[in-house]
Amino acid sequence: MIRQHGQCARPGRFRHRGIGRRLLVLVMLLPGFASAESDLDRLHAGIVRYALDTGDLPRAVLMARTLTGDDAAFLRARVAYASGRRALAIQSFASLASGPQAQPRAALLLARARVAQGHPDAALPWFRQVAARGFGSARQEALYAIATQQRLAGDSEAAGRTLAAMEPGYWSALGYQNLATDYANNDHSSARALVALRVALAMVGAETDPSRARDLRDRLLLQAGYLSYRSNDFDKAVGFLSKVSLEGPVTPEALYFHGLALSAQGNQRAALQSWHRAKKFPLAYPGASDAWLGTGRGYDLAGYLGQAGEAYLAANAAFESEQVTLRKLTDTVRAQGAYEALVANAGASEGAWFLSGSGTLRQPRQAYLMAFLEDAGAQAAVARLATLVGLEARVSRERQDLGVLAAELRRAGRSGAPGLDRVTQALTRHSALLEDMTSALGALQKASGAELDRLALAFLGEQDRRMKVASDKTEQQIAHLYDYLALQALPEQAP
């Protein structure tokens, strides 16, 4: 959601943030502003980094032209890559990474670019260079990428050795989780997978970002609980799953399997409590629809057949209602576009859904947005359109600022100030350029919006089919229950 900036209502006064920023840059260029040339270089480099990190691409492109310090070549390559000049950026990264003063940070960005191009083998030597010469998060990411390539090549032992060389934290925990997934898929026993998951849980404890650590920890506990349940080790499954936080995207699925493990132990009452908790979450989350079905099954196993029938009927009504919601959301996407229907209306500005509070997890539209953004293609489509929307808003503000400035110049022109004609002509040319940019951005938005709509409609169609399958299951359970009750009601035949 783009924040709108209105003009000041007071006559004779105006706020021109764009002019203020340009004046600040001009002042910084005056002799004596910085104590030394290197200070000014570092200041310019800091402005470019901040612009890149905050998505202010126009400012990054503008300021990159004035860079002359040690980081000038590297930052200009980053700006080139962010602005779409990928070939030039990759050439610059390669030059910086293989020069006499090889830069691990350039090698890392080059490796990422190769992976994005679909050439992970070409990225591997650069990841190895970062692992050998880099430090901190860059080295951790490089080692993780190397271990991933080793895993995909089928060499789990080599991947394990690479992961063992990593420092505790997010990247190492993620690597051991992937290793555990390989073990679970390839081994008959879940022993090695559970060991890898325990190591991952120990590693994630060193992560300094609390939200990222909590999310990964919940996913690790869910995976360990599921593997334990699949191995019929129900006590261990309950132990893992009971540690999952009660306010997270994987909470409904964890509660569902927690209920299954308790039910397998014969504790139907506790199982029903877990499933009732999971039912409070939107049906978009994995495990929520299963919990509705599990509630009916739990009453059935406990011997409360009447309540089981009521639970199945309630589940069927919930699934049919969700299908209506999905179809309305599909119509909204077709009418308004996926970005407006899913992203803006869900309250997640520019796709930053991960910044939302835990209370939004209970909102159905937010839940579908989060499920939609689990796909990397959907993430890229939303990010691309959000960038274009932000650029159009930026250009629109610049046009408004130019209009205010032109009005002030016309007012000054009436007092006979010299040289204003030339400035006014320059403003007119700039305004025409901004108008052309607005048209170009509008065309790009239309194309990107169409691609995002296609992905969103396919996702919503799949969700609708999932609800249809769940509804069919409840109808089958209701039919079986009624058949059983009918048989119980028949009089016993004499021998």
Which pLDDT does position 3 carry in this prediction? 37
Residues 173 and 310 in one domain: no
Q: Which of 182-191, 317-326, 387-396 has the lowest mean pLDDT?
A: 387-396
- Same domain? For 220 and 292 the reply is no
Q: Do 259 and 287 have their domain in common?
A: no
Q: What is d(CA 467, CA 464) in angstroms, rounded to the nearest whole number?
A: 5
Q: What is the structure's pLDDT at 491?
A: 65
Mean pLDDT taken over the chain: 84
**Is 308 inside a domain boundary?**
yes
Q: Is the pLDDT of residue 15 over 70?
A: no
pLDDT digits (tens, 9 = 90+) for 94-120: 999 987 767 899 999 999 999 988 899
pLDDT on residue 494: 46
Using one digit for the tens of pLDDT, what is the confidence trace for 123-160?
999 999 999 998 899 999 999 999 999 999 999 999 99
Q: What is the pLDDT of residues 72-93, one digit of tens each?
A: 889 999 999 988 889 999 999 9
User: Is pLDDT above 90 for 196?
Assistant: yes
8 Å CB contact between 79 and 101:
no
Average pLDDT rounded to a whole number, residues 169-187: 95
Q: Same structural domain for residues 295 and 258?
A: no
Q: Are 377 and 293 members of one domain?
A: yes
Same structural domain, 254 and 310:
no
DSSP-derived secondary structure letter, 375: S
Contact 309, 478 (CB under 8 A): yes
> Is the pLDDT reported for residue 466 higher than 90?
yes
Residues of the domain holding 217: 168-265
Q: Which of 207, 238, 265 is the last residue of a domain?
A: 265
84 vs 233, residue with greater confidence: 233
Give the number of domains in the chain. Answer: 2
What integer pLDDT is reported at residue 359 of this predicted model? Answer: 53
> Are the beta carbons of 130 and 104 closer than 8 angstroms?
yes
pLDDT at 412: 67
Of 436 and 110, the structure prediction assigns the larger pLDDT to 110
Q: What is the pLDDT of residues 317-353, one digit of tens each?
A: 999 999 999 999 999 999 999 998 888 776 544 444 3
Using the predicted structure, report yes or no on whether residue 416 has a pLDDT greater than 90.
no
- pLDDT > 70 fraction of the chain, expressed in percent and rounded: 86
Give the per-residue pLDDT at 347: 53
Rg value, the chain, Cα: 29
Mean pLDDT of 346-370: 62
* pLDDT grade for 402, boundaries at 50, 70 and 90: confident
Q: How many CB atoms lie within 10 A of CB 36?
A: 8
The pLDDT of residue 469: 94
Is residue 286 located within the same domain as residue 250? no
pLDDT surpasses 60 at 10: no
Within a domain: residue 5? Answer: no
Sequence-distant (6+) residues with CB within 8 A of 464 are 323, 326, 327, 330
Q: Minimal CA–CA distance to 283: which of 319, 239, 255, 324?
A: 319
- Looking at per-residue pLDDT, the higher value among 47 and 423 belongs to 47
Same domain, yes or no: 342 and 478: yes
- Identify the domain boundary among 208, 242, 265: 265
Closest-CA residue to 179 (of 202, 201, 203, 163) = 163
356 has pLDDT over 90: no
pLDDT-based confidence at 222, cuts 50/70/90?
very high
Identify whether 305 is part of a domain: yes
**pLDDT recorded at residue 452:** 94
Q: How confident is the model at residue 191 (pLDDT cuts 50, 70, 90)?
A: very high
- CATH number of the CATH domain containing 202: 1.25.40.10
Q: What is the pLDDT of residue 492?
A: 56
Q: Tell whether 361 and 331 lie within a shared domain.
A: yes
